Structure 1
């Protein structure tokens, strides 16, 4: 009893017809999941932060702490 010969002709095309749509669907699903699980919450967090952010107040706090070398604190 011998084993049948494997079918090699057209094997790549047959496997691609099966696996390519699956790979495309999974990658699309991963991209959508990343968009709604990571980027949308991040955009909301940035928007919420910048609603109350005062850049002048932050600059003055850093100036008073002595972070900037070219800007003297207002007390001098």
Structure 2
């Protein structure tokens, strides 16, 4: 008894018809999960930070700490 020959004609197209929708659905799921678990919280954190951020106050604190060599602290 001999084994039947494998069907090779159209094998790629047959497997792609099965795997492509699964891969597409999985990629959409991963993209949505990334958006809601990483991107949105990061955007919210940046927005919350910059609501209360005062760049002039931060600059003056760095100037007083001596970080900038070209700007001397006032009052010394």
How is 1:1-76 mapped onto 2 (pairs within 5 angstroms)? 1-76=1-76
Shift of 1:75: 2.1
TM-score where L is the length of structure 2: 0.95
Q: Which runs of 5+ in 2 are unaligned?
A: none
Partner SS state of residue 60, structure 1: helix
Residues of 2 paired with 1:32 and 1:3: CA distance? Answer: 47
Per-residue CA deviation, residues 15-71 of structure 1 (Å, 9 max, x unaligned), is 011101110110011001100000000111111111111110000000011111111
Shift of 1:2: 1.6
Shift of 1:5: 0.9
Residues of 1 paired with 2:62 and 2:2: CA distance? Answer: 82
- Give the RMSD, CA atoms, in angstroms: 0.8
